[in-house]
Every structure is written in structure tokens, then in C-alpha cells.
């Protein structure tokens, strides 16, 4: 049980930085749109 | 233009406001979106981009020149332009602390000419707001 929890915690630690780092939103102001 | 942008990889939704000339793009969760491709897609549809702002999460890294970059994914980073906010980010360089920032990634320099979007040159992010440090 402890081993499984430790493994889960390790996996979360390894995945978290990748899943958190990203572009969340983009906004553009454009010209010449009709 | 909406269809053009919607077809780009990593794009979840596109919202176009004709009244104020704004285009909002929401990327897919954990999807990789390339701002250069979006700029190109807009220009290809016959419209020019005056400004592009992004909100991004990532980690601050210092490079050999002493400048900072924001790593948003293993293969995607933006050079950070020097201003009051970049100074605030300096202590976080090469630390495990993640940041969420809003900044300007592109601004039209004048004329209707299509910008040069060299993939080997990282886009420069002018940080306008530091939203979160974690």
C-alpha cells in the first residue's frame, strides 16, 4: 500500500511540470477584417 | 479566418469579434499550439495582425547571454524582453518554480508587410503581468 502510494506520488511529480507548462490563451488584435 | 485558425494544430476554439477586431483562441488541454502558425494563418486569410497577447504557464530559464526565456514545453520557449516584470522573474531562473504570465508576443511594426517568422529565432515575450508563481 505504502509502495503504491509512493509510486503514485512519484508519477504525479514527474507528470505535473509537463502538464502545467503550456499556452493557456491567445488574443489577437487584427486589422482589415470585414 | 475563423476556419483557417480552427484548423491549426492544438486549437480548441476560436472566437472572432468583428466589432472590436479581436480574435480569441483557446488551445486544447495539453495541446501544443504554435503562435507563429497562428500569425501565418491570419496573414494567409488576408488580415493583418496588429498585436498578439498570450497567457502562458512555464518555467524561467537563463541562457548564456544572460537573458531569460520562458519554457512552455520541452520544445517551445519564448525569449523574455527586458522590463520591470522580467526583473521580477530573474530570481526564479533555473528554479523549479512555475509561473503564469500574460504578455505581448507580437506587435506589428508598421506597413502591411507580412512579418518574417523564422522558426529558428524564438519569439520575444514582453511580459505585461505576472499572474501566478507556484
User: Residue A18: is its pLDDT beyond 80?
Assistant: no
B4-29 tens-digit pLDDT = 888 888 899 999 998 899 999 999 88
B12 and B67 in a common domain: no
Q: What is the mean pLDDT of residues B62-88?
A: 91
Which B positions 111-130 lie with beta carbon below 8 A of chain A?
A: none
Closest CA to B98 of A30, A10, A18: A18
Task: Please tell me whether residues B30 and B61 are part of one structural domain.
Answer: no
Q: What is the percent of chain B where pLDDT is above 70?
A: 91
Q: Do B85 and B130 belong together in one domain? A: yes
CA angle (B116, B119, B121) in 5-degree steps: 80
Q: Using a CB–CB cutoff of 8 Å, tell me whether A13 touches chain B.
A: no
pLDDT of residue A17: 45
| Same domain assignment for residues B32 and B60 | no
By residue range, what is the domain housing residue B22? 1-47
Domain count within chain B: 2
Does B22 sit within 8 Å of A28, measured CB to CB? yes
Amino acid at each position: 500500500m505504502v509502495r503504491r502510494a509512493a509510486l503514485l506520488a512519484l508519477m504525479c511529480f514527474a507528470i505535473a511540470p509537463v502538464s502545467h507548462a503550456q499556452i493557456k490563451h491567445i488574443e489577437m488584435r487584427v486589422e482589415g477584417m470585414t | 479566418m475563423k476556419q483557417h485558425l480552427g484548423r491549426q494544430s492544438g486549437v480548441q476554439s476560436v472566437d472572432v469579434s468583428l466589432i472590436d477586431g479581436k480574435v480569441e483562441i483557446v488551445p486544447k488541454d495539453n495541446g501544443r499550439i504554435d503562435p507563429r502558425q497562428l500569425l501565418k494563418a491570419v496573414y494567409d486569410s488576408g488580415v493583418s495582425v496588429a498585436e498578439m497577447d498570450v497567457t502562458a504557464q512555464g518555467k524561467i530559464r537563463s541562457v548564456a547571454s544572460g537573458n531569460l526565456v520562458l519554457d512552455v514545453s520541452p520544445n517551445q520557449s519564448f525569449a523574455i524582453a527586458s522590463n520591470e516584470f522580467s526583473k521580477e522573474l530573474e530570481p526564479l531562473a533555473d528554479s523549479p518554480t512555475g509561473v503564469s504570465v500574460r504578455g505581448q508576443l507580437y506587435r506589428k511594426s508598421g506597413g502591411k508587410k507580412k512579418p518574417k517568422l523564422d522558426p529558428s529565432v524564438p519569439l520575444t515575450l514582453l511580459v505585461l503581468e505576472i499572474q501566478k508563481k507556484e
